Structure 1
């Protein structure tokens, strides 16, 4: 009797586990799709912020991105900044109007992800942050304020960070008390312009 009771309890437990697993799997599938849609909407919004376009083509330069990632030169040149994705911005006729590069670099609290618009003259059209910055409130978080990120628009390649204000043509004023965050953003921007220069416009 004890053996039969044990087997019955085991079967009930297995059935409960199976049903729970199916429910969790279904919920995960629905949640995963929703998360993907939210992330895509956020990504497109970040593209539009740095370079409005009729179409964003993520296929044309996919191989160039893979090559650049494998080469490792861009990361080595820019403080370890890594490239995540690249799209060609196109007008209604399908002509390329510029390039949008998504990259990241190590900030104070984690990876700082930046979307960078770069035109055919290697000028930055703007930058945006598609994800919440993992930086300190009141310090590194100030990177999302116009006073900081608007500095990049119209700048070219090989930018450097300057403390204390008074940045020159190829410099970016650091956020007071958040030089690490400022450098992470600048390294990512430099990685983006270097990629466009060396792997797209070469």
Structure 2
């Protein structure tokens, strides 16, 4: 026999997948991925919630130094009382105002008598080096102990009872002051109704 007669045709052993098989494989892969994500979320979500609560408590402790406990205020979203020896020494309330670059969100600590204890800016998009200085001294320190009547922004350095605007950031100065003033007014009204 000649070699030509013994030559066998080559068989293509490559497996061809149908669209149905590909769909099944992708479905199984997505199901397994989803299951893994769900299991990870199940174990990490409580830790994330606890961590966020701890961060918020730490922020409130820095606003009302000496407070031993923070309790949510019933009927008020994101409001907390700051208590020491069972007595309310302050309220920590959210505030928001529109600045030059957009919304400025804050937490404001206010005494039951309507005086500012402290504030912190949570989010801001103000101009770096100008408006973002609202969270720094000396601008920040001007608010401590002030009541609503003193929360007016001025550029006149002789008006020491008012809030001195930051140079080059008057809009931000007014926005922060407005947000804090509204928070103080809300606390004053709330305490007055009790």
2:100 partner SS: coil
Aligned to 2:9: none
Aligned-residue offset at 1:150: 0.8
Aligned to 1:143: 134
Q: Distance in 2 between matches of 1:172 and 1:178?
A: 13
Aligned-residue offset at 1:36: 3.5
1:146 partner SS: coil
Aligned-residue offset at 1:195: 0.8
Q: Label 1:108 to 1:39 Cα distance change in 2 as closer, same or farther (>3 A).
A: farther
Aligned to 2:169: 178
Q: Distance in 2 between matches of 1:13 and 1:118?
A: 57
Aligned to 2:24: 11
> Which has the higher mean CA deviation after the structures are superposed, 139-148 or 3-12?
3-12
Aligned to 1:168: 160
Q: Label 1:156 to 1:28 Cα distance change in 2 as closer, same or farther (>3 A).
A: same
Aligned-residue offset at 1:97: 1.3
Aligned-residue offset at 1:28: 4.9
The answer as to 2:124 corresponding to 1:101 is no
Q: Does 1 or 2 have the higher relative contact order (CA < 8 Å, sep 6+)?
A: 1
Q: Distance in 2 between matches of 1:3 and 1:17?
A: 22
Q: Does the 8 A contact of 2:109 with 2:119 survive in 1?
A: yes
Q: TM-score, normalised by structure 1?
A: 0.76
Aligned to 2:115: 123
| Bigger-Rg structure (1/2) | 2
Q: Does the 8 A contact of 1:100 with 1:115 survive in 2?
A: yes
The answer as to 2:190 corresponding to 1:199 is yes
Q: Label 1:14 to 1:39 Cα distance change in 2 as closer, same or farther (>3 A).
A: same
Give the number of equivalent residue pairs: 177
Aligned to 2:74: 62
> Which has the higher mean CA deviation after the structures are superposed, 175-184 or 25-34?
25-34
Q: Does the 8 A contact of 1:85 with 1:103 survive in 2?
A: no
Aligned-residue offset at 1:132: 4.3
Q: Does the 8 A contact of 1:56 with 1:90 survive in 2?
A: yes
Please list every run of 5 or more consecutive structure 1 residues that lacks an aligned counterpart in the other structure. 66-83
Aligned-residue offset at 1:89: 0.9
Instruction: Decide which of 68, 78, 81 is 1:88's aligned counterpart.
Output: 81
Aligned-residue offset at 1:26: 4.2
Moved over 4 A (4+): 26-35
Which one has a larger percent helix, Structure 1 or Structure 2? Answer: 1
